[in-house]
Structure 1
Amino acid sequence: MAKTEETSGLQQLREELVDYLSAQTELLADKAGDKLADVTDQLFDAAENGGPLPGAGLLKGGSPLKALLGAKAKGLKDNVVDKAQNLLGGGGGRKSGSTKTTNLVESLDVGVPIRTAYDHWTQYEEFSSFTKGVRSVSQKDETTSDWKAKVGPSTRSWQATVQEQLPDDRIVWTSEGAKGTTRGCVSFHELAPNLTRIVLVVEYYPSGFFEKTGNLWRAQGRRMRLDFKNFQRYVTLTDEEAEGWRGEIRDSEVVRSHEEALEDEGEEGEDEYGGGEEEGYDEGEEEYEEEDEE
């Protein structure tokens, strides 16, 4: 009985020490990330728009070396936790701290009809022509596409899968890549006949040391915001008419094809036009008959 209580006490001590180390490294990494956030913003601005690079003096309250060490501490947290478990005699133990997630919520207004904005967004293969990050997109089928993007000095690739897609309403997707996963939704809202609000919501889960470090600096979020604004500029100024994909997807399966959607839209237009013509003809015919009777 006493031996069991002693084992339980050591287990509790080990878990408390692991929690303490995790909390300390997380706190150190967060402080470093906050100090580097302003510098990263200016680095992106300098890279995209030109201009002088920010100096180290922007890191008020600490040296660049300390900030860099803090960022590395974030990526090395799992190793620290594992070593602590081994020193205390723990084998499998509890799982280390969860990865910090980038959450992006942005909205932009574009001066075009909602259908125009939606149709341009569905043309994924055109994204490389107006964004800074996307290098190429290959559409495999109606629900999946392969993407390649530039992130710093490296190229990243992933496969995106559309989970839900409703024309002129919203597109929900997930993506899987070697360096992280995302969940996203873009929705379209008509404010006026020629004014559309686009709302973008993305969650990014990085994988790997360099991706987690970049996530700490919020680099991926800044890249997505910049490309979102580039889409706004492109859609507002382009003279090209996009032939968007008008199909419908639910639970990652196409429930209505592009051709079926266009056919349904054509029939709806004919019914509306034809109905008006028939009603107008009937009224005129009745008036003509009344005149004859008089």
Structure 2
Amino acid sequence: MTARLTDAVGDGSGDGGGDGDGGGTAAKMAAEGAKTLGEGKSPLKAGLKAGMTGAKETAKKAVGSGDGGGGGGSDEAKATNIVEKFDVGLPRRVAYDQWTQFADFPSMTSKVESVEQESDEQLNWRAKIFFSHRTWKSTIVEQVPDERIVWKSEGPKGYVDGSITFHELAPTLTRILLVAEYHPDGFVEKTANLWRAQGRRLRLDFKHIERHMMTRTMLEQDDTEGWRGEIRDGEVVRTHEDAIEQEKKEQEQKEGRGGED
């Protein structure tokens, strides 16, 4: 489900990718990034490759549906691909747990006004954009504790799909990588997109989140609790309660083996 990932999502989600193009592109981006990470490449290279995949998919749609004229390309050609990262001096678990506290996004960012968690995988957002307001719904399609969150979104003014991943660089140093693809809908959003306004806003809120984590989260690590469940294909496959219970059992077993030694 990312902060102007909030604003950027907030400017959008038309039909939620009604023709399947938006979701398909985001899925291919996430798959390419995961594949690159699996090959031992750096998180940054993985993110860049994912972004290139999204750009190529966008270009394919533009070429395939264009009529040869200057303005004949499809709306998909106007998508904005965004790849950003920052390193934060927190353990990976703490950084991930903070991100899953979606109700904190209004205090972490500059434009998000509220986040209502309809269910573990469904979120309703509201943000102020210039002199108006935007609402949108995001659906988490994949969430793996301490590793990644992949989402889709829908709303009346465009949509953004993407992923946020967490990479341990050291016990108390984590790299957070954002890969997003924003699709505008409506005259204002499409015009603003020509100047990459949404991308700039998303990057700014990403910086706000980094500052929040390096200050408040850094000082409140012991009080930072996150959602530890797991989502696959848009469905909860392990609840938060089950995950906590499993962690408790594993910790008891570990302590028991330590006592025997």
Output the TM-score relative to the length of structure 1: 0.63
- Residue of structure 1 equivalent to 2:255: 273
Say whether the 8 Å CA contact 1:120–1:244 is kept in structure 2: yes
The match for 1:261 is 243
CA gap 1:256/1:96 in 2 versus in 1, 3 angstroms: closer
Supply the AA of the counterpart residue of 1:244.
G
List aligned pairs for 1:1-294, cutoff 5 A.
Answer: 19-22=68-71, 98-238=76-216, 239-240=219-220, 241-278=223-260, 280=261
Change (3 A) 1:97 1:143: closer
Q: Residue 20 of structure 1 aligns to a residue in which SS?
A: coil
Structure richer in helix, relative to its length: 1
Distance 1:96 1:167, change over 3 A: closer
Contact 1:187-1:199 within 8 A present in 2 as well: yes
Report Cα offsets for 1:103-123 as digits up to 9, x if no partner.
Answer: 110010000110110000001
The one-letter amino acid of 1:19's match is: G
Q: Highest CA radius of gyration, 1 or 2? A: 1
Letter in 2 for 1:117: A
SS in 2 for 1:157: strand
The count of residues paired between Structure 1 and Structure 2 equals 192
* Superposed displacement of residue 96, structure 1: 5.2
Distance 1:97-1:195 versus aligned 2 partners, 3 A rule: closer
The secondary structure found in structure 2 opposite 1:228 is helix
In the alignment, structure 2 segments of 5+ residues that lack a partner are 1-65
- Return the offset for 1:194: 0.6
What secondary structure sits across from 1:199 in the alignment?
strand
Q: Distance in 2 between matches of 1:222 and 1:198?
A: 18
1:175 is paired with a residue of what secondary structure? strand
Runs of 5+ unmatched residues, structure 1: 1-16, 24-94, 281-294
Q: Give the TM-score, by structure 2 length.
A: 0.70
Distance 1:157 1:144, change over 3 A: same
RMSD (Å), alpha carbons: 1.6
Tell me what 1:46 maps to.
none
Identity %: 54
Q: Matched residues in 1 for 2:214 and 2:132: separation?
A: 31
- Letter paired with 2:79: T
**CA gap 1:276/1:102 in 2 versus in 1, 3 angstroms:** same
